[in-house]
Amino acid sequence: MTMQGDFKLGDEAGRLSALHRYEILDTPPEEEFSDIIRLVQSIFDLPLVSINFIDTDRQWSKAAAGIPTEIPRAMSICDHTIRGRTALDLPDLTEHPTFAANPFVADGGVRCYLGVPLTSPDGYNIGALCVAGAEPREFSEAEADILRNFARLVMSQLELRQIARNDALTGALTRRAFRERLERSLNSDAEIGLVLIDIDHFKSINDRFGHPAGDVVLRCVAETLRTHSLPHECLGRIGGEEFGLLLPGRDASAVVARAEALRRQVVALEWPELNGIAVTISLGAAMRRGDETADQLMARADIALYAAKRSGRNRTVEAGTESEAPV
């Protein structure tokens, strides 16, 4: 194992960031993952099979047979699998000092377990693929290899899914994927903030310096927005030079403060491709009201964005304050 691998096994913040990049948690069932579960179950002839992702305090299953969709992380055997690089082979959990008292073991439902990590291309174990049964069972190295091959297939499906959901130029979510994430967030009771962001005078940049320079601006602005956002926040490219940033769990003042901080980060960028000309952004921020729809929330943020551009650009306007002085 490399020193880098050792470091990443202990880097929980990096691991969670890698997990959240896939935008997989709390998504509906998808046939590609369900097919993997059926194939693994037919090969191992065991009742319990699941593709599990380990979040901050829970285990969530994208696809599973015989296993709850969500359990506390403290009860997860797969949480132990992600702590190493090899398969976790437990032929009889009742004889293991760490797992004998686990509720799933104590009630007789789980006796044997084989799990392998789901490892991202950058080396983080974001979850595990596992099989389990109610009787003791010795697993062979060949069986562990089979499960590892299926784990690689799971990660390949995640990568393909991410490619389809992410804008090729900027790496941000596509408009469709961002809209899906926004609608999913609105199903929760959490406060939801939405910031729409437009690169000022982008057409002039393209006209004066050419489209390759414009592409550099798009990539760098998107990277700046993403770098200075938290793992649970979500960036999407929703137009040519327009981005959306979803900020769950923040009140209005925190959303506006984050928007202003991002604006300042973009202003501070240096642009040798543009002969030193500054690039700025305008931002419109809105908070979800009651049970309003994604369309209604985006419309209010868009009105605020238009107000920011109309009043001079390079500023943030909060929805509902369009007639007042900008931030």
What are the boundaries of each domain within the chain?
A: 3-165, 175-318
Q: pLDDT band for position 238 (50/70/90)?
A: very high
**How large is the average pLDDT for residues 283-308?**
96
pLDDT score recorded for residue 15: 96
Residue among 86, 81, 13, 84 at smallest CA distance from 51: 81
Round the average pLDDT of the chain to a whole number and report it: 93
Residues 45, 38: Cα–Cα separation, whole Å: 10
Architecture of domain 175-318: 2-Layer Sandwich (3.30)
Same fold, 3-165 and 175-318: no
pLDDT score recorded for residue 44: 98
- pLDDT tens digits, 29-49: 999 999 999 999 999 999 999
The token pair that represents 278 in the structure block? 């500054």
pLDDT score recorded for residue 327: 53
Give yes or no for residue 4 having a pLDDT over 70: no
Active-site residue identified among 23, 180, 241, 322: 241
Q: With contact defined as beta carbons under 8 Å apart, do 289 and 268 qualify?
A: no
pLDDT score recorded for residue 3: 44
Give yes or no for residue 13 having a pLDDT over 90: yes
Architecture of domain 3-165: 2-Layer Sandwich (3.30)
The reply to whether 324 belongs to the active site is no
**How large is the average pLDDT for residues 139-168?**
96
Q: pLDDT band for position 257 (50/70/90)?
A: very high
The token pair that represents 255 in the structure block? 């959303």
**How large is the average pLDDT for residues 251-261?**
95
Output the CA torsion sign for 24, 26, 32, 35.
positive
**pTM for the predicted model, two decimal places:** 0.73
Q: pLDDT band for position 23 (50/70/90)?
A: confident
% pLDDT > 70, the chain: 97
